[in-house]
Structure 1
Amino acid sequence: MSVLTSAMLNAAADLDQPAFIRRLGPDEIAALRPAADGPLAGVPFAVKDNIDVAGIPTTAACPALTEPAPRSATAVQRLLDAGAIPIGKTNLDQFATGLVGTRSPHGACHSVFSADHVSGGSSSGSAIAVAAGVVPLALGTDTAGSGRVPAAFNGLVGVKPTRGLVPTRGVLPACPSLDCVTTLTRTVSLARTAFEALIGPDPDDPWSRAMPVVPPPEVARTIRVIAVPDTPLDLDPPHAAAWQAACAHAASVARLVPVDVSAFLEAAQLLYGGPFVAERLGAFGQLLEPDGPHLDPTVRRIVRAAATITGADVFRGQQRLAELRATALRVFLSVDALLLPVTPGHPTLAEVASDPVGVNARLGTYTNMVNLLDLCAVAVPAGHRDDGLPFGVQLIAPAFADRPLLDLASRWLGEPVQPPSVRSLLAVVGAHLTGEPLNHQLVALGGRLHARARTAGGYRMYRVDGPLPRPGLVRGAGGPVSGLEVEIWDLPAAGIGELLATVAPPLALGPVDLDDGSTVPGFLTDPNGVDATADITEYGGWRGYPGRAG
C-alpha cells in the first residue's frame, strides 16, 4: 500500500463525524488488486456503502446486513481496472432513502462548512470524504438527488449520468428503474476521467445501456444556450441571493433563455408524493421487517406506507408522468441545458430533527424529477451564501448529453475545455431545425447538432411561400441587434453539397455572421426575392413564428 493511501486512511480515522462505516485495511485493499496503471492509477476513492466491494459487507447503513459481497459492483471494478484504490465504505441515509444525511444508525453527518447544517444525503459520507480532503473521488448514488444535494452542501462537483450509462449491478437497489451511480469530486477534470472509466453496458444489468455512437438530434456538441426559470423560485432568502449571483455568472458562459419549468416541478412531486415510492417497497421492503433499532424509523415509515398504493395508482402515475415528460422535453428543442438551484435552502440538523419528512421533501424540489424525466445533470459549486455556506446549482440536459454537459461544467468553473473537432459547419434557420419537418435530412446525411446560436445583429426574416413554407434570412437588412435564432450543424463536406441540391430559390448558400463573431455558411435569401409584407423578424426566429406550419 502506498504512503499516500496510508495518509488517506489516517485522515479517514481522524474525521470529526461518521463519514465512514468501514475503513479498508491494507490486506483488504491488496486483495482487490487495483491495476498498476490506467487513467486513475493511484487515485484513492471511497465507496458509498450501498455499492458492493468484494469481500466487504454492503450494509446500506443497516447493521443487520453482514454478508460479505461475493464480487465488486461493476462501477467499483471499473475504477479498480482504471488503477484507482478503494479505502473505505461511506455512511448514507439508510437504504439510500433521504436527502439529509441524518437517517443512519451510525450517526448524522454535517456539512464540512458548518457543524450545525446537514451534509445532504443520501451520499453523505462520500461527499464528506471528498470535501474533507480524505479522497479526491468517491462513488455515491443518485435516485432523487442523493449525489447532487451533498455535492451542493459541501462545495463539490456531483455528476449524475444518464440513467443506465454506469451499470448498477452490485448496487443495493432503492428504485431500480431510476438508480444511478454518481461521482463526487472537487474538479470536473477528475469527474470526466472517472465518467469515461465507468460508462458502458453490462450484460448482467438489465437497466444498463450504451452511449449512442451518434447522440440524439437535440443534443448539441457545444452548449451555448441555457434555460432558466421564467418566474421566481421558492428559495430561502440566503439561497435566493446566491441564485441571482449564479444566474449572472451563467450569463457569462452561455446565453440565457427564460422558460416555464412548471412541468419539471410537478414531475418532481410524483417521486414521493405519487405512487413511485412503491418501487422502493418492492426493491428492499423485505429488509424492513422485523422492526428494530437497526432500522431508521423515518425510512421504514415512508417505505412501508407504500403498501397502500395500488397497481391502478401506479399506472395513473405513469400516465401523468408521460404527459409531463412530453411537455418538459419540448424545452430542449430550443435550449441545450436547464439551470436550477440544487435545493431551496440549507437546513440545520435541528430543523431536520423537528420535521424529518417535510424538510427532506422540500430538499428534493429541484432534483427529484431528473431521473423520472430521463435527464442527466451535473451539480457545480456556485459561490457562497452571505452566511458563508456553499451554494450549488445543477446543469441539466437531455439523456446522452453527458459529455457536452461536462464541458459546460468545466467552463462554469473555469477549467480548460478541449474544443471538439468538426467537419463542415452549416447554419440552418427553418424546417431543418431540431424538431422541424426536414431535420431528418441533416441526420440522414450524417449531421450532428454542433451548437444553438443566434445571428449577429442586422438580419431580417421573411416567410417564403411554397409547398413547405420556409424562412428567408436576409443579411444586412436592419434587423434587431440581438439577432435571430439559428442552429449550427456539423456535416460531412459532401453532405452540404447534397443538401444544397434540395434548396430552391430564392434561398442560396452564403456567409452567416453569428453572435459570437464567427461566420459559417448558411442559407440566405436574395432581398429582391422576398415579399416585404411577409416580414416575420419580430418572432425572433422560425420556431417562434406561429404560421410556420402552413
Structure 2
Amino acid sequence: MIMINLEIAALSAAYADGSLTPEAVLDEVYARIAARGERPVWIHLVPQADAARQLEAASARKAAGAELPLFGIPFAVKDNIDVAGLPTTAACPDFAFVPDRSATVVQRLIEAGAILIGKTNLDQFATGLVGTRSPYGACASVFDERYVSGGSSAGSGVAVGAGLVSFALGTDTAGSGRVPAAFNNVVGLKPTKGLVSTSGVLPACRTQDVVSIFAGTAGDALAVLQAAGAYDEADAYSRKAPPAAVQPASWPVGFRFGVPADGLEFFGDEAAAALFRSAVERLTALGGTAVEVDFAPFREAAQLLYSGPWVAERLAAIRGFAETKPDSIHPVVRGIILGAAKIGAADAFDGFYKLAELTRRAEAEWAKMDVLLLPTTGTTYSIEELLADPVRLNSNLGLYTNFVNLMDLSAIAVPAGFRDNGPKKGLPFGVTLIGRAFADGALAALADRFHRAQALPIGATGQLPEGPALESDAPAPGMVRLAVVGAHLTGQPLNHQLTSRQARLVRTARTAPGYRLYALAGTSPAKPGLARDPDGAGGIEVELWELTEAAFGSFVAEVPPPMAIGTVTLEDGGTVKGFLCEPIALIGAEDITGHGGWRRWLAR
C-alpha cells in the first residue's frame, strides 16, 4: 500500500499534475479504515461503491467546467449532522432518524467536489469533551489507546489524526471542535457563530452551536471554511459575514498576544505547562509581543455554560425524547440534560445579564491585545480516570474553551508539541488562538505560521505538511491599512495620533511611480505633501499602519487641510488609504522627491 498524504493541498496538487487519481485515494482510504476497523470511530460508513458514485458525479461536473475547489477530497461528518439517506443518531440508537435532506454545510461541501466517507462517533447528543459517552464505543487518542480522544466530536478528530480522511466536520458549543484537535495533533477551526449554516444540525445549545472543521493544517481548514461558509436564509442564526472574514491576513511585527497574568491551571501536568511556555516563546519569535491580561472574566463566563441557563437549551433540543425515553440516554448525559428542568425563566435572564457584564469586562482586556493565546486544555486524562470521575474532569477540560462561543469569539486550535517527560510522555499538547468575531482567516494565517515553525507531522501519520504556507498581505478583518509619509511616521510629532488609537505598524513600503513629495511651506509641525504626478519618479518611502474602521474614521476627521486622505498605489501594485495633498498647498513648496522620503530629507 502506498502512503498517500491526505492533506488537501497535497492531493489537489497531485491530481493536477496527474501523479495521483481520486480513485486511488478512495482505495487507500477504505483500506486504512478496514485495517483499523469501523468501531469506535465510525457510526455509519458509506460503502465504497457509493463513494465512487459520488466521485463519478463530481468528475462529470468538473469535466463540464464547474469549479470544484475540494474535488476528490475525502471527508467525514459528525453524526449529529444530517446526511440525506443516512441515519442521524447523535450516538443514541433509539433517537435515530433518516433525513430526506442533507445539512446545508454537507451539501455545500459535496457541491465543492468533496467525497463523503461516513459519519463519526461522538459524545451522545454532543454533550461532553471526552469521547467516552457513546454506546458505539469510547474513542481514544491516536497516540495512546489508554487516553481519551477528546469530544464531543471524538470520531471526527480521530479520523483526521489517524489519516483516514483529509478533513472532518464536528460541532463546537463548549470546545468540541478544539479539544479533539489537541488530543490528536491536528488543527481544529471553530468558526465565528453564524458563519457556517447549522441548518440540518441537531442542536446542543442552538444559540451557541457552530459547525467546526478538523484538518491536518490551518490552510486546509481555511479552504474547507471558504467552501462551507455562506449566509443561509433557512438558518435563523446565520450571519452575513464581511468578505475578509475567511481570507488570510498578515500579522505585523509586534502584534500583541494576550497571556493570563494570574497564572494558568495545568492540573499538575508539568509537561503541558512547559509546552505552553515554549508556545509563548515561539509566538514571540514569530514577531509577537506577549501582554498580560486578566483572565477572570473569561474564566467566569466559561463556568456559565454548564452552571447557567444554557444547559436548558440542551433539554429544549430533545425534550420530547428525553422525557419519554430517559433510559435510552447515557447516564452522565441524562443527568446533565434532565437536570436542566429545574432552570426557570428568571434564572435564564440572570444568566444573560451575568454574561453581558463579563463580556463588557472582557472588552478592557481586548483593548490590550490582538489575539488571545491559551492552552487548548490544561491536561488530558486516561479513559479509566474519566469514567471514574466523568463530570469534574470533563469540566477541567473546558476551562479554556467554554467561554468562546458565549462571548462571540473566533478560535483555532493548533498543535504545540509533545510531552517529553512525565506519566503522559508522548501525548500531544495544543494551544488555541482566540480572536474577535469574524477574525477566522486572520487567525488561520497566524496558526499556520505557528504550526509550520515546529515541523510537526499531521496527526499520527508521520507525514509533514506538503502544501504551501498560508500567507497574505491583506489587512486583518475589520481593519484599514493607512500609508503615512511625514509627521505621522514613527518617532515624528504626530505619530501619537495613530498609537493612541491602538494602530499597529505593519511595515515600511514605497509608492509606485507617479508621485512627487514636497516640503510644504509654513506648516507646524513641519509636513510633507505627497502629490500625484504622471512624470513623478515614485519610490517614496511610506509606513503602513493598520487600525480599526472606527479608529480610521475618527483619525480622518482630525486631518486638517490642505492634507487629505485618498488612495495610494504601492510599489507592489497594491493600494491602501494614504495621505495626499491639495494642489494649492504646493505653491511655494520645495520638491524633495529626489530624497526618496521625508526622513532622508530631514536628515539632509
**TM-score (structure 2 length as normaliser):** 0.71
Over residues 407-451 of structure 1, what are the superposed CA-to-partner deviations in whole Å (9 max), with x where a residue is unaligned? Answer: 1111112262333247742468556668x6xx9xxxxxxxxx7x4
Kindly name which structure, 1 or 2, has the bigger radius of gyration based on alpha carbons.
2
Q: Select 2:279's aligned residue among 229, 246, 269.
A: 246
| Structure 1 position 371 matched with structure 2 position 405 | yes
Change in 2 beyond 3 A, CA 1:55/1:32: farther
Whether contact under 8 Å (1:47, 1:88) holds in the other structure is: yes
Deviates more, 1:263-272 or 1:8-17: 8-17
Over residues 77-97 of structure 1, what are the superposed CA-to-partner deviations in whole Å (9 max), with x where a residue is unaligned? Answer: 111011100000000000000
CA distance in 2 between partners of 1:102 and 1:342 (Å): 19
Unaligned stretches of 5+ in structure 2? 1-21, 63-67, 453-467, 476-480, 489-493, 509-524, 527-543, 564-576, 580-604
Change in 2 beyond 3 A, CA 1:142/1:429: farther
User: Which residue in 1 is equivalent to 2:560?
Assistant: 502
Q: Which amino acid aligns with 1:301?
A: G
Over residues 505-547 of structure 1, what are the superposed CA-to-partner deviations in whole Å (9 max), with x where a residue is unaligned? Answer: 9xxxxxxxxxxxxxx989xxxxxxxxxxxxxxxxxxxxxxxxx
Unaligned stretches of 5+ in structure 1? 440-448, 456-471, 474-485, 506-519, 523-550
| Structure 1 position 74 matched with structure 2 position 110 | no
Whether contact under 8 Å (1:51, 1:171) holds in the other structure is: yes
CA distance in 2 between partners of 1:207 and 1:134 (Å): 32
Over residues 312-335 of structure 1, what are the superposed CA-to-partner deviations in whole Å (9 max), with x where a residue is unaligned? Answer: 111011001000001113322232
| Structure 1 position 257 matched with structure 2 position 279 | no
Q: Select 1:2's aligned residue among 16, 19, 23.
A: 23
CA distance in 2 between partners of 1:2 and 1:76 (Å): 21
SS across alignment from 2:277: helix
User: Which residue in 2 is equivalent to 1:24?
Assistant: 46
Over residues 29-75 of structure 1, what are the superposed CA-to-partner deviations in whole Å (9 max), with x where a residue is unaligned? Answer: 36667633411100000110000111101111011133211111111
User: Which residue in 1 is equivalent to 2:230?
Assistant: 200
CA distance in 2 between partners of 1:293 and 1:7 (Å): 40
Q: Which amino acid aligns with 1:359?
A: L
CA distance in 1 between partners of 2:332 and 2:188 (Å): 26
| Structure 1 position 144 matched with structure 2 position 174 | yes
CA distance in 2 between partners of 1:75 and 1:214 (Å): 20
User: Which residue in 1 is equivalent to 2:372?
Assistant: 338
| Structure 1 position 394 matched with structure 2 position 415 | no
**TM-score (structure 1 length as normaliser):** 0.78
Change in 2 beyond 3 A, CA 1:278/1:76: same
Q: Which amino acid aligns with 1:297?
A: P
Whether contact under 8 Å (2:249, 2:471) holds in the other structure is: no
Q: Which amino acid aligns with 1:389?
A: L
User: Which residue in 2 is equivalent to 1:103?
Assistant: 133
| Structure 1 position 35 matched with structure 2 position 58 | yes
SS across alignment from 1:365: coil
Whether contact under 8 Å (1:429, 1:487) holds in the other structure is: no
SS across alignment from 1:117: strand
CA distance in 2 between partners of 1:169 and 1:153 (Å): 28
Change in 2 beyond 3 A, CA 1:26/1:293: farther
CA distance in 1 between partners of 2:438 and 2:229 (Å): 11
CA distance in 1 between partners of 2:308 and 2:215 (Å): 33
Alpha-carbon offset, residue 12 of structure 1 = 2.0
User: Which residue in 1 is equivalent to 2:483?
Assistant: 425
Q: Which amino acid aligns with 1:155?
A: N
Whether contact under 8 Å (1:335, 1:452) holds in the other structure is: no
Change in 2 beyond 3 A, CA 1:27/1:288: farther
Q: What pairs up with 1:44-123 in 2 under 5 angstroms?
A: 44-123=74-153
Whether contact under 8 Å (1:225, 1:452) holds in the other structure is: no
| Structure 1 position 230 matched with structure 2 position 261 | yes
SS across alignment from 2:92: coil
Over residues 361-406 of structure 1, what are the superposed CA-to-partner deviations in whole Å (9 max), with x where a residue is unaligned? Answer: 1110000000000000000000111211100000000001111111
Q: Which amino acid aligns with 1:238?
A: A
CA distance in 2 between partners of 1:35 and 1:429 (Å): 55
SS across alignment from 1:392: strand
Change in 2 beyond 3 A, CA 1:18/1:419: same
Whether contact under 8 Å (1:46, 1:126) holds in the other structure is: yes
CA distance in 2 between partners of 1:405 and 1:14 (Å): 36
Q: Which amino acid aligns with 1:358?
A: R
Q: Which amino acid aligns with 1:246?
A: A
Whether contact under 8 Å (1:221, 1:420) holds in the other structure is: yes
Q: Which amino acid aligns with 2:216?
A: R
CA distance in 1 between partners of 2:495 and 2:321 (Å): 56
Whether contact under 8 Å (1:32, 1:54) holds in the other structure is: no
Superposed CA RMSD: 3.2
CA distance in 2 between partners of 1:400 and 1:338 (Å): 15
User: Which residue in 2 is equivalent to 1:409?
Assistant: 447
Deviates more, 1:291-300 or 1:98-107: 291-300
Change in 2 beyond 3 A, CA 1:490/1:226: closer
Q: Which amino acid aligns with 1:35?
A: A
Q: Which amino acid aligns with 2:385?
A: E
CA distance in 1 between partners of 2:499 and 2:313 (Å): 39
SS across alignment from 1:86: strand
